[in-house]
Structure 1
Amino acid sequence: MNNLPPIPTIEGDLMLDVFKHHSVRDLLPEDIGDQAEAEYGDTDRVAALGEAVFTMVVTSIAFQKRPPLELNQMQAERQRWLSDDAIMNWVSLYRLRSKVSATREARGQLENPEVTRFLFNSYIGAVYHQKGIQEVYSWVSRLIEPNEEPRKLPGTAAPKPPGTQAAAPADYPMGPPPGATPPPQSVPRLAYFNQVTTQMGYSVQWAAESTGPPHMPRWTVRCIVNGTERGVGEGRSQKLAKEVAAQQAATAMGTSNVSTTHTC
């Protein structure tokens, strides 16, 4: 896997405990007392935390896929990412087992799917505990979608600096009918296009199609005004493609001096 994302680092005593097999810990009674006094308790707690966090993250990523997956598709994607095969593969690619200290008799257990899952969940829990949910979310999204941009945690978009406004759209080429007011900055261009064409009595139809795999579609949308194709847009989502098509249609209609006789 050439595009394996860098694994987040963990530090301190928590890192040592994550990579310490219980066979070694059982030989050192003082380790049990040290873990009990640690802020994270013990690795059993960390692994339980990691399991919950990982399940939430992969479920959220499956939920965010566009176009939206049907429920059964979303559940299938989720189960694929949570499977023993996936976790065994990731642990092997990151060579995490080689970092685990274990007795000679116990080293063979490290290949066990249950032990491997415990190690992976412990690492996820440690990253969450030390770095936070966004670090886990970004890493896992790149791990399961290596060809996509790292996803951001929903609801964490950076707020705009005080006093700034969104850039005003360029002058709309298509002249609005008498009485129509220019769109305020808060109104999307597509909404204004629909408003103007409705006021002018135009018939607008949209033809959309997608190509490519379901998890990475490419949308093409055609804007048809009074039976004539006036704009074509492409994008990673149907909405973006529709916006481009609307802009092209508005430009074409404005430069061709569309009249109120509706002869497009």
Structure 2
Amino acid sequence: MILNQDTPNLPPLPEFQGADEQDLTLEVFTHKSLNPNPDELKPGFGNADRLSVLGSQALSFAVTQFYFRYTPQLTAQEIILKANEVIQGPKIIEWLDAYPLLKTRLRRSQASNTDNIFASLAEASTHFHTYVGALQYSRGPQVVNAWIFGLLSLSEGVKVEDEDIPMQDPNPPPPASSSSASPPPPGYPQGPPPGPPPGYPASNAPPAGSPSIPTNFISLSFVHETATKRRVSIDYSAHKEGAAHTPSWTVCCIMDGVERGRGTSSKQKTAKEEAARNAFVAMGWA
């Protein structure tokens, strides 16, 4: 099926979120003909070229995963061929046509013609990859995969679901003892071993109420994935203080309109990650 903006059940265009939302929008929708310094690296995502590289890889993974889960199963060579048809072919231009905002919002110099820009497969692909990269950066892989799976399901006329693979606990609890286990021999002490003698340090087990997932395992994308699964909206507010060469960023993580976590750092991205982790724990998801 050829998709267009009137195609029934066309997935809604995902939007950027987070403290970088405005900067991402400006970067993605400013054509290089209007950007006086395209190589400048901004905090966090860098620039459009970096987003395009990220988006190209994210798109390739999502498309490959779709055809890997396709039914009936495809051979390895068939997966490669079908994925390349999407990634390297005119499907990108078709998807851009299905979402006119991706084209009309692009700011360009007066000398550049929008039709000429998107008539070039290379230019169109770069713009689409940049948008996907910004989504991957701000919303995480689950949002990208859900969108691409929706588009490909319509194109192929087959519904393919992206399976959610839960994150494994790096410290799984020990297996429960079997009720059929043999009882200890006569004379062997029953029940748990006695505690340490007075004055001897207790075990180094984490205190009650500590998170079951260590905070260093909680990534920004994992927080966003969990919030999406639980249908919790997530947003950020950022505030900078101090001199330009020694800034202090404070970022608040807001879930369903309520501040749940806060982070402070000299780098906005680090403060955002800390705020998201603190919110994750505050929501009781750890």
TM-score range, shorter chain: 0.5 to 0.7
**Correspondence for 1:4:** 10
Unaligned runs of 5+ in 1: 160-264
Q: 1: distance between equivalents of 2:78 and 2:63? A: 13
Q: Which amino acid aligns with 1:60?
A: Q
- Residue 43 to residue 145, structure 1, CA distance change in 2 (3 Å): same
Please, which of 84, 88, 91 is the counterpart of residue 86 of structure 1? 91
**Correspondence for 2:161:** 151
The number of equivalent residue pairs is 155
TM-fit CA distance, 1:93: 1.1
Q: Which of 1 and 2 has higher RCO (CA within 8 Å, sep 6+)? A: 2
TM-fit CA distance, 1:151: 2.4
TM-score (structure 1 length as normaliser) = 0.54
**Correspondence for 2:107:** 101
**Correspondence for 2:33:** 23
Q: 2: distance between equivalents of 1:97 and 1:143? A: 18
CA contact 2:66–2:160 (8 Å) conserved in 1: no
1:159-211 CA distance string (max 9 Å, x none): 9xxxxxxxxxxxxxxxxxxxxxxxxxxxxxxxxxxxxxxxxxxxxxxxxxxxx
1:211-260 CA distance string (max 9 Å, x none): xxxxxxxxxxxxxxxxxxxxxxxxxxxxxxxxxxxxxxxxxxxxxxxxxx
Q: Decide which moves more: 112-121 or 73-82.
A: 73-82
- Residue 68 to residue 136, structure 1, CA distance change in 2 (3 Å): same
**Correspondence for 1:139:** 147
TM-fit CA distance, 1:84: 2.9
1:28-80 CA distance string (max 9 Å, x none): x4x764xx132101110000000001101111111111221122322222122
**Correspondence for 1:64:** 69
> RMSD value over aligned CA atoms?
2.4
Larger Rg belongs to: 1
TM-fit CA distance, 1:97: 1.3
Question: SS state of the match for residue 161, structure 2?
Answer: coil
1:131-171 CA distance string (max 9 Å, x none): 00111111100011125556234524999xxxxxxxxxxxx
1:11-42 CA distance string (max 9 Å, x none): 3110111010001102xx4x764xx1321011
Q: What percent identity do the matched residue pairs reach?
A: 23
TM-score (structure 2 length as normaliser) = 0.50
CA contact 1:59–1:78 (8 Å) conserved in 2: yes
CA contact 1:137–1:151 (8 Å) conserved in 2: no
Q: Which amino acid aligns with 2:64?
A: T
CA contact 2:52–2:126 (8 Å) conserved in 1: yes
